[in-house]
């Protein structure tokens, strides 16, 4: 990882939320790096996403549910990320609380950051020295980027126009892993990536196998995901009956998955982390929204992308993340979003590219 310039204020970004949130925090990190060194606190799961990011001076891993759990782990991390002692004439150290939690605010306070910037309405807002309005009608990447400008008029309709895009930095190891997975086969079909998984069961569209079968005559299929998605990937490959289905679940790191998505013509995904990997690589995306909606601010950012959902369903949205089970027991938001609608969206995106 390259070190950012050591001039300017010392800055800390605390982002210990989900994988997608970490990806969407990279525009904020890039903005702050123009001003001085940026240290970042992330979870063990998210840390690999920021490998080789040239805008990060130092990366700290906070295993808040494991080795760093409890007060002892909290205090240990606060000492590790301690703000530098103030020097006469030097700008104050600043912490940016990208996660709206009281623990993040308390961590920055305990680490000696006299300037703490976070979102208005957060659980820890009383611990902030400056508060930025949380705009529900903005993409989350823009909301996070706006933390760098606490004095900005938040009513301005930026809509990402002035914000940098999310960025990830796969290296030689990730490129080699994808090369090995794709193999030497001279397959003339364009590559389409499918990401059938999600931490939340109600966000998993149930017809990926049927979609793979429909696309296989024209496209080579790559399946993206983690270890928990391996059985689903095998089912998709078996059902499609297609030669050359590439299974990247569990075998690729997060950055290698981003590299594979970068090489694809298109990604079809649920409202989950791979969508944000595609936003960082500029890969057009068809995103399937069930219990959640794009209006929450977590839609795709790559050009020509399409978001699908049953807008007329009165019970949508039912949850900000996606409940473990449908509250009404019918799961219509996913069951009734059929193969034809998604296949049509795939063709529409490809035609526009």
Name all domains of the chain by residue range, CATH numbers in brackets: 11-148 (3.40.50.2000), 175-352 (3.40.50.2000)
317 cis-preceded (ω within 30 degrees of 0)? yes
Residue 2: pLDDT band (50, 70, 90) is very low
Mapping DSSP to helix (H, G, I), strand (E, B) and coil, where does residue 268 land?
Answer: strand
Q: Which long-range contacts (CB under 8 A, 24 or more apart) does 144-149 make?
A: 144/21, 144/24, 144/25, 144/27, 144/28, 144/98, 145/27, 145/28, 145/31, 147/28, 147/96, 147/97, 147/98, 147/117, 147/118, 147/119, 148/28, 148/31, 148/32, 148/96
Secondary structure element (H or E) that encloses residue 6, with its range: none
Q: If you average pLDDT over residues 252-267, what whole number do you get?
A: 97
Per-residue pLDDT, 240: 81
Per-residue pLDDT, 90: 79
Per-residue pLDDT, 299: 95
Indicate the burial class of 183 (C-beta count within 10 angstroms; 0-12, 13-18, 19 or more). exposed
pLDDT at 205 over 90: yes
DSSP designation for 112: T
CA atoms of 167 and 262, how far apart (whole Å): 12
pLDDT at 156 over 70: no
Answer with the residue of higher pLDDT: 90 or 269. Answer: 269
CA atoms of 7 and 29, how far apart (whole Å): 15
Tokens of 212: 């793979």
Per-residue pLDDT, 3: 44
Per-residue pLDDT, 87: 79
Tokens of 4: 């950012």
Residue 160: pLDDT band (50, 70, 90) is low
Q: If you average pLDDT over residues 312-333, what whole number do you get?
A: 95
Q: If you average pLDDT over residues 191-219, what whole number do you get?
A: 95
Per-residue pLDDT, 4: 43
Q: Which of 56-60, 69-73, 154-158 has the lowest mean pLDDT?
A: 154-158
Q: If you average pLDDT over residues 129-138, what whole number do you get?
A: 93
pLDDT at 1 over 50: no
Per-residue pLDDT, 116: 97
Mapping DSSP to helix (H, G, I), strand (E, B) and coil, where does residue 107 land?
Answer: helix
pLDDT at 158 over 70: no
pLDDT at 353 over 60: yes
pLDDT at 196 over 50: yes
CA atoms of 50 and 43, how far apart (whole Å): 11
């Amino acid at each position: 990882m390259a070190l950012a310039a050591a001039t300017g204020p010392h800055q800390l970004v605390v982002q210990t939320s989900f994988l997608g949130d970490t990806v969407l925090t990279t525009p904020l990190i890039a903005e702050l790096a123009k001003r001085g060194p940026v240290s970042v606190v992330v979870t063990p799961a998210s840390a690999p996403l920021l490998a080789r990011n040239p805008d990060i001076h130092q990366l700290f891993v906070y295993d808040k549910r494991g080795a760093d759990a409890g007060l002892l782990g909290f205090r240990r991390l606060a000492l590790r990320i301690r703000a530098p002692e103030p020097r006469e004439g030097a700008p104050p150290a600043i912490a940016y609380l990208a996660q709206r939690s009281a623990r993040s605010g308390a961590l920055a306070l305990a680490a000696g950051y006299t300037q703490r910037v976070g979102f208005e309405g957060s659980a820890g807002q009383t611990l902030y020295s400056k508060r930025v309005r949380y705009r529900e009608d903005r993409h989350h990447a823009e909301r996070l980027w706006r933390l760098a400008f606490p004095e900005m008029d938040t009513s301005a309709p930026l809509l990402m126009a002035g914000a940098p895009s999310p960025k990830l930095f796969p290296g030689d190891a990730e490129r080699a892993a994808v090369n090995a997975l794709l193999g030497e086969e001279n397959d003339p079909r364009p590559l389409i990536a499918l990401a059938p998984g999600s931490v939340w069961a109600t966000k998993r569209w149930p017809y990926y196998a049927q979609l793979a079968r429909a696309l296989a005559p024209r496209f080579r299929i790559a399946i993206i995901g983690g270890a928990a998605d391996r059985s689903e990937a095998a089912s998709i490959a078996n059902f499609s009956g297609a030669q050359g289905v590439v299974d990247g679940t569990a075998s690729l790191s997060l950055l290698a998955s981003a590299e594979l998505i970068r090489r694809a013509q298109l990604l079809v995904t649920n409202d989950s982390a791979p969508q944000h990997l595609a936003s960082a690589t500029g890969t057009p995306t068809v995103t399937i929204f069930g219990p959640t909606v794009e209006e929450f601010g977590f839609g795709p950012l790559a050009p020509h992308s399409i978001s699908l959902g049953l807008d007329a369903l009165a019970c949508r949205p039912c949850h900000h993340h996606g409940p473990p089970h449908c509250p009404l027991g019918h799961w219509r938001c996913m069951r009734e979003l059929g193969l034809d609608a998604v296949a049509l969206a795939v063709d529409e995106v490809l035609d526009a590219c």
